[in-house]
Amino acid sequence: MTVQKESMIVLIINAGSSSLKYQLINMHPDAHDHDVMASGVVERIGESQGKLTHKKISGQKNAKFIKEQQINDHGIAMHLAAGMLTDKDAGVISTINEIDAVGHRVVQGGENFNASILIDDDVKKAIRDNYPLAPLHNPPNLTGIEVAESLFPSIPNIAVFDTEFHQTIPQKAFMYALPYEFYEKFRVRRYGFHGTSHKFVSNSAADLIKINKEELNLITVHLGNGCSICAIEKGRCVDTSMGMTPLAGVMMGTRTGDIDPAIQKYLIEYTNLNAEELDNIFNKKSGLKGICGMNDMRDIHSAANRGNERAQLALEMFAYQVKKYIGAYVAVLGSVDGIIFTAGIGENDTVTREMICSNLTGLGIEIDPSRNSEVSSEPRAIHSGSSKVQVWVVPTNEELQIAREVVNCLY
Ligand code: ADP
C-alpha cells in the first residue's frame, strides 16, 4: 500500500498595483487531485472605495460575498481576504493556521530563476533587482510576499515566476540584434511571459495526447487580453512571441505586438507625442482597440457581423498574425505533434480559431468545423481525421499550476 501524503492547503496570491487576487486550493499530491475551496479579488486598493469579492466554493456550489470599504494598502487587503477565508459564513477554514503554504505569482524573474523557489532574503533581493524590467508588476508582487510573510510567519512562501518556463530558450532565440553590451549591461533580451499558462497547458496536452512530454513538440497559443505563443520542443520552451516586455509578439486587446521600432522616432518627430505618451498608446490604445475601438472579442465579432469593416479588419489582422507565428514555430520545431489553444479567446472563440487554422493543410494542420464549434469548458480535440497535427483546446489554470509548483518545491 502506498502511503498518501496528507493533503496540503495552498493559498495562491497574485498581487497587482491596486489589486490582490487569491485562491485557496486543497492539493492532494499523491492522488494528483485538488479542490478549489475559495477564490477572491480585492480591487481599488489605495482608492477611496475598495471592493472585495469573495467566492466560497463547495462542490458544484458557489456562494458570493462582497465587501465595500476603503482599503488603504495590500496589508489591509490581505487581512480582509484572510478574514473572509475564516469567516463563519464565507469561510472555508476555521483558522489561518490551516494554510500550509503560500504560492506567489511573480512576473519577472530575469535570468535569476529557472524554477520556483522558497522565498528568502536573497530571493526578495533578486525580485527587487528585477524591478527595472517589470516596474508595474514586480513591486506589488514583492509587497504581496511581504504582507503574507507578516500575516503567516510560520509557513513557507514560494515564488513562481512567469518567466521561468522560458529560461530554456537558446541564446540565438532570446537575443536581440543590438550591440551586445546592451544585453551584458542592461539585460536587454527576450524573457517571455505567461509561463505558468504555457507550462500548464503543455503538461495537460502531454496527458491528453498520451505522449511523454519529453518526446512531444507543441505550439501553445495563449490568446486572452494578452496573447503569447510558444514553441515547445520535447517539453522545453525554445521560443516565445513576447519579448523583453509583454508588448511584443502578436497584436493583443490593446497592445501593438511587434511593430517596426523606428515608428516611435517617426511619431515623436511628426506628432506632439513624447516617448512616454507613445508607450501608453502602444500598451493601452493599440492592438484590436487601436484598429476598431473595441478590445473585447465578443463585441468585435458582433460588430463585424453587423458589417463594421474596421471590426472585420481587426479580426483578420489578429488571425493573420497568430497564423504567421504558428508557421514560424513549425519551422523552428521541424515537426509538430500538437497545437494547443488556450485563454479567453483561444478557449471560446470558434470563429477566430477557424480563421487562424484556415489554409494550413500544407503544414499538416486541419481542424474539423463541427468539433471546433462545440461549446465546452473541458479540454477537447478539434482536428480533423486527416490532420497530421493534433489541434486541442485546453482551458488554462494558472492558479493550479502555481499550487503544483508549491507542492513540488516543498516535497
Ligand atoms: P486575461 O488575459 O485578462 O486573463 P482572458 O483569458 O479572460 O483574459 O481573455 C479575455 C478575452 O477573451 C477577451 O478578448 C474576451 O472577449 C475573450 N472571450 C471570452 N469569452 C469569449 C467568447 N465566448 N467568444 C469570444 N471571445 C471571448
Q: How many helices (H) and strands (E) does the chain have?
A: 15, 14
Indicate if the pLDDT at residue 202 is higher than 60.
Answer: yes
pLDDT tens per residue across span 310-338: 999 999 999 999 999 999 999 999 999 99
**Whole-angstrom Cα distance, residue 102 to residue 214?**
29
pLDDT of residue 6: 76
Q: For a ligand 1 pocket test, name from 292, 345, 351, 401 the mutation site with the most ligand atoms within 8 angstroms of its C-beta.
A: 345
Is there an atom of ligand 1 within 6 Å of 343 CB?
Answer: yes
CB of 297 shorter than 6 A to ligand 1:
yes
Task: Answer whether 46's CB lies under 8 Å from 35's CB.
Answer: no
Residues in contact with 285: Cβ distance below 8 Å, sequence separation at least 6, in sequence order: 254
Residue 59 binned pLDDT confidence (cut-offs 50, 70, 90): confident
Per the CB < 8 A criterion, the answer to whether 99 and 81 are in contact is: no
Ligand 1 mutation pick, 348, 350, 356, max ligand atoms within 8 A of CB:
348
Mean pLDDT of the 67-74 span: 94
pLDDT, position 130: 94
For residues 290-311, average pLDDT: 98
Q: Which of 29-33, 125-129, 251-255 has the lowest mean pLDDT?
A: 29-33
> Which of 162, 239, 337, 349 is the catalytic position?
162
Ligand 1 pocket member 86 (CB < 6 A)? no
Round to whole Å and give the CA distance between 330 and 320.
15
CA 249 to centroid of ligand 1, rounded, Å: 18
343 CA to middle of ligand 1, Å? 7
pLDDT surpasses 60 at 2: no
Atom of ligand 1 nearest to the CA of 346: 12
Annotated catalytic residue 162: yes
Eight-state DSSP code of residue 130: T
pLDDT bracket for residue 240 (50, 70, 90): very high
> Please, what are the domains in the chain?
8-161 (3.30.420.40), 210-398 (3.30.420.40)
How far apart, in Å, are the Cα atoms of 382 and each of 204, 341, 352, 376?
16, 10, 13, 12
Which of the four pLDDT bands, split at 50, 70 and 90, describes residue 411?
A: confident
What distance in angstroms lies between residue 299's CA and the mean position of ligand 1's atoms? 11
Q: Does the structure show a pLDDT above 90 at 82?
A: yes
Q: What are 288's three cell numbers?
A: 484590436
Start-end of H helices in 40-193: 74-86, 121-129, 138-151, 171-174, 180-186
CA 318 to ligand 1 center in whole angstroms: 14
Is the CB–ligand 1 distance for residue 225 below 6 Å?
A: yes
Mean pLDDT score across all residues of the chain: 95
What pLDDT digit, counting tens, does each position of 135-193 carry?
889 999 999 999 999 999 999 999 999 999 999 999 999 999 999 999 999 999 999 99
Going by CA atoms, what residue is nearest to atom 21 of ligand 1? 348
Rounded distance between C-alpha atoms, residue 62 and residue 335, angstroms: 44
